[in-house]
Amino acid sequence: MPHLRLGTRGSALALAQSRAVARELARLHPDLHVEFVTITTKGDRILDRELSQVGGKGLFVTEIETALLAGDIDLAVHSLKDVPTEQPEGLVLAAFPERADPRDVLVSRDNRKLAELRTGAVIATSSLRRTAQLRHLRPDLQFVPIQGNVDTRVRKMRLGQADAVALAAAGLIRLGRAEWIAEYLDPEVCLPAAGQGILCLEAREDDAATRELLAPLDSPASRVCGEAERQVVAALGGSCQVPMAVLAELAQERLQIRAVVSDLQGETVLRASGETAEAVVTQLHEMGAEKLLPDWG
């Protein structure tokens, strides 16, 4: 019987995502046994600071990739938005399963939508990207950081720490919490992070057997969109310390990419769109985005 050791973070969402992948692998390969190996990452250990202040890349993946390279696990399941654009030598992103809803959402007390929040209402989010875009639209609102997993963040909000919390739709849906969503935010209001809603399955480049097992899970549309979004981030020198958003969509074999770069306060918001990463990056360059992106170039 084939046996795969799947490396995953221990959060409820990471486990839900990994179990979904395991179920799909079992459907495709009925004689396959998947063993879960839980790995704690640096991002999981940081509980007293906002991750945007920590800096660095791979906060939620580095330890898992180390285990993969060491042969302690055979594949890893990541949220693509957590994966640095520079791939470690010897590892490949073997499959991009079908994308879940990439949008951001609002979970709020009294189920209020963004437009219904009173002046001075508090939105909790630790995402600079969400804060900048929502503040640009609603400068009358207050924004505060929040820590913890999805359930913890929503509980803190309901206990009075905020009037609403901004989260990724995909996470709530995968956890079976879609009924909590007060509003799906249109990408024109809050463009998502590159890779949001996409899982990626990572394996060793020289492990042909595992890559063959994972290949049927690869969605060409998810891969094309995910790679295009990552190309934009890589070209811009993407950093978690700069508000940046990218969404690629494929319709009738035509790729459309939208990107947003903003200052931290959401006062200057640059928007670009095009059919290639190069076109979008060129537009942002012509708009002067390098003033907002210290790592660009």
> What CATH number has the domain bearing residue 240?
3.30.160.40
pTM over 0.85: yes
Residue 90 domain boundaries: 3-97+198-218
Question: How far is CA 267 from each of CA 87, 117, 130, 204, 211, rounded to the nearest angstrom?
Answer: 34, 20, 13, 43, 45
Query: Is 27 domain-assigned?
Result: yes
How many domains are contained in the chain? 3
Give me the numbers of helices (H) and strands (E) for the chain, helices first please: 10, 13
In a domain, 120, yes or no: yes
**Whether residues 207 and 68 fall in one domain:** yes
Question: Would you say residue 55 has pLDDT above 60?
Answer: no
**242 and 202 in one domain?**
no
Q: Which residue has the higher pLDDT, 294 or 80?
A: 80
Lowest mean per-residue pLDDT among 39-53, 67-81, 131-145, 207-221: 39-53
Q: Is residue 283 part of a domain?
A: yes
Residues 267 and 142 grouped into a single domain: no
- Mean pLDDT (the chain, rounded): 93
pLDDT at 59: 84
Co-location of 11 and 91 in the same domain: yes
Question: For the residues 76-104, what does the mean pLDDT come to?
Answer: 96
How many CA atoms, within 13 angstroms, populate the side-chain half-sphere of residue 194? 29
In the predicted model, what is the mean pLDDT of residues 151-178? 97
> CA angle, 21 as apex, 248 and 233 as ends, to 5°?
25
Question: One of 31, 74, 82, 151 is an active-site residue; which one?
Answer: 82
Residues 124 and 66 in one domain: no
| Residue 71 shares a structural domain with residue 206 | yes
> Are residues 243 and 169 both part of a single domain?
no
| Domain annotation covers residue 296 | no
| Pairwise pLDDT comparison (1 vs 140), residue with the higher score | 140
pLDDT at 294 over 70: no
Say whether pLDDT at 100 is over 60: yes
Is 163 annotated as catalytic?
no
Check if the beta carbon of residue 58 is closer than 8 Å to that of residue 65: yes
Q: In this model, does residue 49 exceed pLDDT 70?
A: no
Grade residue 242 by pLDDT with cuts at 50, 70 and 90: confident
CATH number for position 126: 3.40.190.10
Segment among 41-45, 147-151, 266-270, 278-282 with least mean pLDDT: 41-45
- Is the Cβ–Cβ distance between 191 and 256 less than 8 Å? no
The mean per-residue pLDDT over the stretch 192-202 comes to 98
Number of Cβ within 10 Å of residue 111's Cβ equals 13
- The whole-number pLDDT of residue 46 equals 65
Asked whether the CA dihedral 124, 292, 45, 227 is positive or negative, the reply is positive
Specify the pLDDT at position 50.
Answer: 58
- Type of residue numbered 174: R
Strands 33-38, 3-8: parallel, antiparallel or unpaired by DSSP?
A: parallel
The dihedrals phi and psi of 225, each to the nearest 5 degrees, come to -70, -45
Asked if 206 and 265 sit in the same domain, the reply is: no
Q: Report which of residues 50 and 90 the model is more confident about.
A: 90
User: What per-residue confidence (pLDDT) applies to 127?
Assistant: 94
Instruction: Assess contact for 134 and 114: CB atoms under 8 A.
Output: yes
Instruction: Tell me the average pLDDT across 83-105.
Output: 97
pLDDT band per the 50, 70, 90 thresholds, residue 254: very high
- Cβ of 230: how many Cβ atoms within 10 Å? 26
Cα 129 from Cα 81, distance rounded (Å): 13
Question: What is the rounded distance in angstroms from the CA atom of residue 4 to the CA atom of residue 75?
Answer: 7
Predicted confidence band at 237 (pLDDT cuts at 50, 70, 90)?
confident
Is 190 within the bounds of a domain? no
What number is the average pLDDT over the span 21-26?
Answer: 97
- Same structural domain for residues 140 and 276? no
Q: Give the C-alpha separation, 276 to 284, whole Å.
A: 13
What is the 3-state composition of the chain as percent helix, strand, coil, each rounded to the nearest 5?
A: 40, 25, 40
